[in-house]
Amino acid sequence: MLLVAIAGAAFFSTFLGGLLAIRLRDKLHLILGFSAGAVIGVAFFDLLPEAIGLGQKFDGPPVILSWTALGFLSYLVLDRILLFHGEGTSRGNFSAGILCIHSFLDGIAIGVAFQTSRAVGIVVTIAVLTHDFSDGINTMNIVLKNRGNRAQATRWLLMDALAPVLGIVSTFFFTLPGSVFGIVLGAFAGFFLYIGASDLIPESYHAHPKFLTTAMTLAGAAALYLAIGLIG
Protein backbone atom coordinates (compact mmCIF):
# COMPACT_ATOMS: atom_id res chain seq x y z
CA MET A 1 0.00 0.00 0.00
CA LEU A 2 2.84 2.40 0.76
CA LEU A 3 4.31 2.05 -2.73
CA VAL A 4 0.86 2.58 -4.26
CA ALA A 5 0.50 5.82 -2.29
CA ILE A 6 4.00 6.90 -3.36
CA ALA A 7 3.16 6.16 -7.00
CA GLY A 8 0.13 8.43 -6.70
CA ALA A 9 2.22 11.14 -5.06
CA ALA A 10 4.81 10.92 -7.86
CA PHE A 11 2.07 11.35 -10.46
CA PHE A 12 0.56 14.40 -8.77
CA SER A 13 3.96 15.95 -8.00
CA THR A 14 4.95 15.83 -11.69
CA PHE A 15 1.55 16.99 -12.93
CA LEU A 16 1.34 19.83 -10.42
CA GLY A 17 4.80 21.03 -11.41
CA GLY A 18 3.70 21.25 -15.03
CA LEU A 19 0.47 23.08 -14.26
CA LEU A 20 2.32 25.64 -12.16
CA ALA A 21 5.16 26.08 -14.66
CA ILE A 22 3.64 29.22 -16.14
CA ARG A 23 1.91 30.62 -13.06
CA LEU A 24 5.08 30.47 -10.95
CA ARG A 25 7.55 31.46 -13.65
CA ASP A 26 9.18 34.12 -11.45
CA LYS A 27 9.71 31.61 -8.59
CA LEU A 28 10.79 28.55 -10.57
CA HIS A 29 14.49 29.17 -9.92
CA LEU A 30 13.89 28.71 -6.19
CA ILE A 31 11.99 25.44 -6.68
CA LEU A 32 14.61 24.09 -9.06
CA GLY A 33 17.39 25.19 -6.71
CA PHE A 34 15.83 23.29 -3.80
CA SER A 35 15.30 20.22 -6.00
CA ALA A 36 18.97 20.31 -7.03
CA GLY A 37 20.10 20.27 -3.42
CA ALA A 38 17.69 17.46 -2.59
CA VAL A 39 18.82 15.07 -5.33
CA ILE A 40 22.52 15.79 -4.70
CA GLY A 41 21.96 15.36 -0.98
CA VAL A 42 20.34 11.96 -1.38
CA ALA A 43 23.26 10.81 -3.56
CA PHE A 44 25.97 11.91 -1.13
CA PHE A 45 24.27 11.33 2.21
CA ASP A 46 22.26 8.17 1.54
CA LEU A 47 22.80 6.29 -1.71
CA LEU A 48 26.59 6.25 -1.70
CA PRO A 49 26.95 5.26 1.99
CA GLU A 50 24.28 2.57 1.56
CA ALA A 51 25.87 1.32 -1.67
CA ILE A 52 29.29 0.97 -0.04
CA GLY A 53 27.82 -0.56 3.11
CA LEU A 54 25.70 -3.13 1.27
CA GLY A 55 28.27 -3.85 -1.40
CA GLN A 56 31.33 -4.34 0.79
CA LYS A 57 30.54 -8.04 1.21
CA PHE A 58 30.78 -8.52 -2.55
CA ASP A 59 32.63 -5.52 -4.04
CA GLY A 60 35.08 -2.99 -2.65
CA PRO A 61 34.49 0.80 -2.62
CA PRO A 62 36.48 1.30 -5.87
CA VAL A 63 34.03 -0.97 -7.73
CA ILE A 64 30.98 0.79 -6.24
CA LEU A 65 32.38 4.22 -7.10
CA SER A 66 33.15 3.02 -10.63
CA TRP A 67 29.46 2.22 -11.02
CA THR A 68 28.64 5.69 -9.70
CA ALA A 69 30.88 7.17 -12.40
CA LEU A 70 29.22 4.92 -15.01
CA GLY A 71 25.78 6.10 -13.91
CA PHE A 72 26.87 9.74 -14.10
CA LEU A 73 28.45 9.34 -17.55
CA SER A 74 25.51 7.31 -18.90
CA TYR A 75 23.13 10.14 -18.05
CA LEU A 76 25.57 12.60 -19.62
CA VAL A 77 25.45 10.66 -22.90
CA LEU A 78 21.65 10.50 -22.75
CA ASP A 79 21.51 14.25 -22.18
CA ARG A 80 23.96 15.06 -24.97
CA ILE A 81 21.90 13.12 -27.50
CA LEU A 82 19.56 16.12 -27.49
CA LEU A 83 22.30 18.32 -28.94
CA PHE A 84 22.42 16.23 -32.12
CA HIS A 85 18.69 15.97 -32.70
CA GLY A 86 18.01 19.33 -34.29
CA GLU A 87 15.66 22.18 -33.43
CA GLY A 88 11.95 22.92 -33.46
CA THR A 89 8.92 20.85 -32.48
CA SER A 90 10.66 17.52 -33.18
CA ARG A 91 13.37 18.40 -30.68
CA GLY A 92 10.75 19.40 -28.15
CA ASN A 93 9.00 16.04 -28.53
CA PHE A 94 12.29 14.13 -28.39
CA SER A 95 13.40 16.04 -25.29
CA ALA A 96 10.06 15.40 -23.59
CA GLY A 97 10.43 11.71 -24.41
CA ILE A 98 13.87 11.66 -22.77
CA LEU A 99 12.34 13.26 -19.67
CA CYS A 100 9.72 10.49 -19.59
CA ILE A 101 12.46 7.82 -19.69
CA HIS A 102 14.23 9.73 -16.95
CA SER A 103 11.03 9.72 -14.84
CA PHE A 104 10.56 5.99 -15.45
CA LEU A 105 14.06 5.40 -14.04
CA ASP A 106 13.12 7.56 -11.04
CA GLY A 107 10.25 5.17 -10.35
CA ILE A 108 12.55 2.17 -10.60
CA ALA A 109 14.93 3.91 -8.18
CA ILE A 110 12.11 4.16 -5.63
CA GLY A 111 11.09 0.52 -6.02
CA VAL A 112 14.66 -0.79 -5.84
CA ALA A 113 15.38 1.42 -2.82
CA PHE A 114 12.45 -0.14 -0.95
CA GLN A 115 13.79 -3.58 -1.81
CA THR A 116 16.99 -2.51 -0.05
CA SER A 117 15.27 -1.18 3.08
CA ARG A 118 12.29 0.92 4.14
CA ALA A 119 14.54 3.74 5.36
CA VAL A 120 16.43 3.97 2.04
CA GLY A 121 13.13 3.83 0.17
CA ILE A 122 11.67 6.75 2.12
CA VAL A 123 14.76 8.92 1.61
CA VAL A 124 14.91 8.21 -2.13
CA THR A 125 11.17 8.91 -2.36
CA ILE A 126 11.59 12.35 -0.77
CA ALA A 127 14.30 13.26 -3.28
CA VAL A 128 12.38 11.87 -6.26
CA LEU A 129 9.15 13.68 -5.35
CA THR A 130 10.91 17.04 -5.17
CA HIS A 131 12.65 16.23 -8.43
CA ASP A 132 9.39 15.08 -10.09
CA PHE A 133 7.93 18.51 -9.43
CA SER A 134 10.76 20.11 -11.41
CA ASP A 135 10.40 17.41 -14.09
CA GLY A 136 6.83 18.55 -14.66
CA ILE A 137 8.04 22.13 -14.99
CA ASN A 138 10.75 21.13 -17.47
CA THR A 139 8.39 19.02 -19.57
CA MET A 140 5.96 21.89 -20.10
CA ASN A 141 8.72 24.41 -20.73
CA ILE A 142 10.71 22.31 -23.19
CA VAL A 143 7.70 21.58 -25.43
CA LEU A 144 6.43 25.17 -25.39
CA LYS A 145 9.92 26.61 -26.04
CA ASN A 146 10.25 24.41 -29.14
CA ARG A 147 7.09 25.71 -30.81
CA GLY A 148 4.77 23.08 -29.37
CA ASN A 149 1.26 24.12 -28.37
CA ARG A 150 -0.41 23.89 -24.97
CA ALA A 151 -2.29 20.67 -25.87
CA GLN A 152 0.94 18.90 -26.92
CA ALA A 153 2.69 20.08 -23.77
CA THR A 154 -0.17 18.80 -21.61
CA ARG A 155 -0.12 15.38 -23.29
CA TRP A 156 3.61 15.05 -22.67
CA LEU A 157 3.08 16.21 -19.08
CA LEU A 158 0.54 13.43 -18.56
CA MET A 159 2.95 10.83 -19.95
CA ASP A 160 5.76 12.17 -17.79
CA ALA A 161 3.51 11.99 -14.71
CA LEU A 162 2.64 8.35 -15.49
CA ALA A 163 6.26 7.33 -16.12
CA PRO A 164 7.42 7.11 -12.46
CA VAL A 165 4.24 5.20 -11.61
CA LEU A 166 5.10 2.62 -14.28
CA GLY A 167 8.68 2.51 -13.01
CA ILE A 168 7.50 1.70 -9.48
CA VAL A 169 5.03 -0.90 -10.75
CA SER A 170 7.77 -2.59 -12.81
CA THR A 171 9.70 -3.36 -9.61
CA PHE A 172 6.78 -5.51 -8.38
CA PHE A 173 7.84 -8.09 -10.98
CA PHE A 174 11.50 -8.53 -10.09
CA THR A 175 13.64 -8.69 -6.98
CA LEU A 176 17.30 -7.83 -7.10
CA PRO A 177 19.72 -10.29 -5.46
CA GLY A 178 21.58 -8.86 -2.49
CA SER A 179 24.88 -9.13 -4.33
CA VAL A 180 23.93 -6.38 -6.79
CA PHE A 181 22.28 -3.89 -4.40
CA GLY A 182 25.58 -2.06 -3.90
CA ILE A 183 26.36 -1.50 -7.57
CA VAL A 184 22.75 -0.58 -8.45
CA LEU A 185 22.53 2.01 -5.67
CA GLY A 186 25.97 3.28 -6.73
CA ALA A 187 24.73 3.73 -10.30
CA PHE A 188 21.60 5.52 -9.09
CA ALA A 189 23.83 7.84 -7.05
CA GLY A 190 25.59 8.73 -10.31
CA PHE A 191 22.22 9.43 -11.97
CA PHE A 192 21.19 11.75 -9.15
CA LEU A 193 24.54 13.57 -9.10
CA TYR A 194 24.29 14.28 -12.82
CA ILE A 195 20.67 15.41 -12.62
CA GLY A 196 21.43 17.82 -9.82
CA ALA A 197 24.84 19.15 -10.85
CA SER A 198 24.45 19.27 -14.64
CA ASP A 199 20.73 19.94 -15.03
CA LEU A 200 18.94 21.43 -12.04
CA ILE A 201 21.68 23.73 -10.65
CA PRO A 202 22.45 25.42 -14.01
CA GLU A 203 18.74 25.66 -14.86
CA SER A 204 17.94 27.30 -11.52
CA TYR A 205 20.89 29.67 -11.54
CA HIS A 206 21.53 30.91 -15.08
CA ALA A 207 18.50 33.21 -15.25
CA HIS A 208 18.55 34.19 -11.58
CA PRO A 209 22.15 34.31 -10.31
CA LYS A 210 21.14 35.36 -6.83
CA PHE A 211 22.22 34.41 -3.34
CA LEU A 212 18.71 33.13 -2.56
CA THR A 213 18.93 30.58 -5.38
CA THR A 214 22.15 29.17 -3.94
CA ALA A 215 20.64 29.26 -0.45
CA MET A 216 17.71 27.14 -1.67
CA THR A 217 20.12 24.55 -3.11
CA LEU A 218 21.93 24.38 0.22
CA ALA A 219 18.57 24.15 1.99
CA GLY A 220 17.56 21.21 -0.21
CA ALA A 221 20.76 19.35 0.65
CA ALA A 222 20.37 20.20 4.35
CA ALA A 223 16.74 19.01 4.35
CA LEU A 224 17.77 15.63 2.96
CA TYR A 225 20.66 15.37 5.42
CA LEU A 226 18.27 15.96 8.32
CA ALA A 227 15.65 13.60 6.88
CA ILE A 228 18.23 10.84 6.50
CA GLY A 229 19.41 11.39 10.07
CA LEU A 230 15.85 11.22 11.43
CA ILE A 231 14.88 8.15 9.42
CA GLY A 232 17.94 6.06 9.85
Q: Please report the pLDDT score of residue 208 as a whole number.
A: 61
Distance of alpha carbon 171 from alpha carbon 23, whole angstroms:
35
Q: Looking at residue 133, what is its pLDDT?
A: 77
Domain tally, the chain: 1
pLDDT of residue 68: 95
Give per-residue pLDDT as tens, 146-167.
677 778 888 999 999 999 999 9
Judge whether 89 and 101 are in contact, CB under 8 Å. no
pLDDT at 85 over 80: no
pLDDT tens, position by position, 182-227: 898 899 899 889 888 887 777 776 666 678 888 888 998 898 888 8
DSSP letter at 200 equals I
Distance of CA 94 to the CA centre of its chain: 18
More confident residue, 99 or 37: 37
pTM for this one? 0.73
pLDDT at 84: 62
**Mean pLDDT score, 23-44:** 78
Domain residues for the domain of 165 are 2-231
Buried residues in 142-180 as b, exposed as e (16+ CB within 10 A): bbbebebeeebbbebbebbbbbbbebbeebeeeeeeeeb
